Amino acid sequence: MDKLSSVARFKALCPYLGRTKASTLRTLCTSSSRRYPSLSKLTAKATKCPVMGPALVTRSGQIAQSAGYASVAGVADMQAIHAREGIFTQPGANIAECPHAAAARKAAQMAEDLVKAKQSADANKTTSTQASGCPFPHEAVKDTQNQKSTAFDYESFYAAELEKKHQDKSYRYFNNINRLAAKFPVAHTGTVEDEVTVWCANDYLGMGKNPVVLETMHRTLDKYGHGAGGTRNIAGNGAFHLALEDEVAALHRKPSALVFSSCYVANDATLSTLGSKLPGCIYFSDNMNHASMIQGMRHSGAKRVIFKHNDLQDLEMKLAQYPKETPKIIAFESVYSMCGSVGPIAEICDLAKQYGALTFLDEVHAVGMYGPRGAGVAEHLDWEAHKRAGQSPDAISGTVMDRVDIITGTLGKAYGAVGGYIAGSTDFVDAIRSYAPGFIFTTSLPPVTIAGAQASVTYQKEYLGDRRLQQLNTRALKARFDALDIPVVPGPSHIVPVLVGDAALAKAASDSLLTDHGIYVQSINYPTVARGEERLRITPTPGHTREQMERLVRAVDETFTRLNIPRLAQWKAVGGRAGVGLPDALPITPVWNDEQLGLLDGVAPQMLANGSKAIVDAQAAKIAQDRFTSLLGSISKSLPPYPMSSGSLFNPAPIHMPTPIAATA
């Protein structure tokens, strides 16, 4: 602390000290230089300064002079010093054990290291780097007038950083994949004629091609044009934005909601604003949280405590260390997208109440996919209560979704659009609207995008068939992989992560599936997942056909064999990895049970076959279209006639599958 206090006195004089955080300076003061162990890292840096460098050389001479006598003193001289200081040595003691001699030698070594460090800095520095940020640039130029001036080599820096990514196999390659609305999950590559089947899209329900959504967007585009016109504060706040916010607030049975340009921005803006405003706020963050949540917490400047993934005991132990009156936020997810695990939402709500914390639940990979209305896992946990309540926007007291304080979701995955949102209390949402720079200072989403998103949310609130079929297709694919000993990371959700365990192999497998089999599955490498846990992330949709699944299974099996990728039995033999092949592993219970899927009463949808048509529900389509009558008028171009029956949970008629209409699989 003495060193740091001394340094702090000069922060106003030195640009480097002034802009460097106290925590960084503390580390530099207390850490030794690797190259010059007798110097601190901060002293080694100071030798590169055109002002401090010469001063340190002068100081090194002073140190050497003061250490000179002790470094050359004879035995008699040292004994005289010992007698004067009252120090008596043991027989046979070596002079190296003498604290005075040791201190002198240390001082001499420091002086020598200071000179070496300064000489090294002089050899490497250029005029431009010496003068940069220094309060005495003319002195720097004068001291280096014989050196050649060169600018920083930015391009070499970029190349070196990229080479690091190549070396550790974490460099990201973006494939040219172009989804075909009339044929999705089929897409074409950079060559229009080269068609592939997509098995890793986040458009989980295929709503990006839903005819009700597209028809609504066409009408909106024709009337309101493309862009939003500005930020929400300046010309970019319209009836479509307000209507969508009402829609998602009602979806989660919360008083209010706010739409952002993406859920990355929603998470970042909300968490950074909350953490910076709540006095002494502490975040408790699951160690597998998404990057957007991690960045938001970091940007807030608030303290962050990490708890083990889904580990309630570890979370409680850490919550208990802080007073109940301290503001706390537990940030976690419902469905973790890379491993497919599901958070213990109800139990975390219990801990939050006990220790005085808010709950921040990211339902990004769950909205549209779980619950009778698609509100996410929090709704799904109280299935019957939410089913009975129908489309009422009112909270159901005591349900898990009601107990969660803040819910965030996306419009860019199951809903097939783009954008994100938060939902919660009226004052909370208004506070974020009023303070979050990520909301205030960005152009709002265009009306056409907002309209398509609302049509999608409304449709899925009314129709259960798509998410039922998606879950059934997920079950079928996991069973097929299990039969072939292909290692799937166990999880109760709709994600199918296939473990590879090596970055280069995962990339090779992805490339082979695309080029050799016409199947697009993206490899997932570090830093998205831990090193050694690289995988292929597969996401079935209701639009995948029986034949497409058969082709995928054969292709993955062949690729594993040809590239010699470890199978489940091999992971078991080494004790398992990433949840795969662990000894005494308990069976996983899916979030969706057989009754909710319609398997017990015979109404479960069937997997499509090549050439068959996807289901578009009549009642859900009509309700979605009616949302826009006041803004877009009556529908001038109707979709093909809908059957009067419906697969909605909220239709008083018995539930059964409607007749397929116009959208091809």
- Residues carrying an active site annotation: 413
Which pair of structure tokens corresponds to residue 81? 């010093």
Cα gap 101→113, rounded to integer Å: 18
Q: Determine if the peptide bond prior to 587 is cis (ω within 30°).
A: no
Q: Which of 619, 618, 625, 620 minimizes the C-alpha distance to 451?
A: 625
Rounded-to-integer distance, Cα 250 and Cα 623, Å: 15
Give the integer Cα–Cα distance in Å for 587 and 364. Answer: 26
Encoded amino acid at 107, one letter:
A
Q: Among all chains, which residue has been given the structure tokens 């107990």?
A: 403
Tokens of 595: 């009754």
- Residue 306 contacts residue 334 (beta carbons within 8 Å): no
DSSP output for 531-571 = TT--EEEE---TT-BHHHHHHHHHHHHHHHHHHT---HHHH
Helix (H) or strand (E) holding 647: none
Neighbour-count burial for 164-179, b at 16+ CB within 10 Å, e otherwise: eeeeebeeeeeeebeb
Cα dihedral sign, 336-342-344-349 = positive
What is the DSSP track for 159-199? Answer: HHHHHHHHHTT--------EE-TTTTTEEE-SSTT-EEEES
Name all contacts of 314-321 with Cβ < 8 Å and 24+ positions apart: 315/284, 315/348, 315/351, 316/351, 316/355, 318/284, 319/284, 319/351, 319/354, 319/355, 319/357, 320/355
Strand 535-538 and strand 496-499: the pairing is: antiparallel
Give the Cα separation of 219 and 82 in Å (integer): 97
Question: Rounded distance, CA 123 to CA 47, Å?
Answer: 12
Rounded-to-10 torsion of CA 426, 428, 434, 440: -100
Nearest to 549 by CA among 453, 625, 473: 473
User: Is residue 89 helix, strand or coil?
Assistant: coil
Cβ–Cβ under 8 Å, residues 329 and 323: no
Of 343, 349, 336, the C-alpha closest to 535 is 336
Cα Rg of the chain, angstroms: 32
Query: In whole angstroms, what is the distance from residue 247 CA to residue 421 CA?
Result: 11
- Please return the burial class of 589, using the count of CB atoms within 10 Å of its CB with bins 0-12, 13-18 and 19+: exposed
Tell me how far CA of residue 113 lies from CA of 37, 52, 232, 351, in angstroms: 8, 15, 59, 55
Question: In which residue are the tokens 């690289």 written?
Answer: 534
- The 3-state DSSP class for residue 598 equals coil
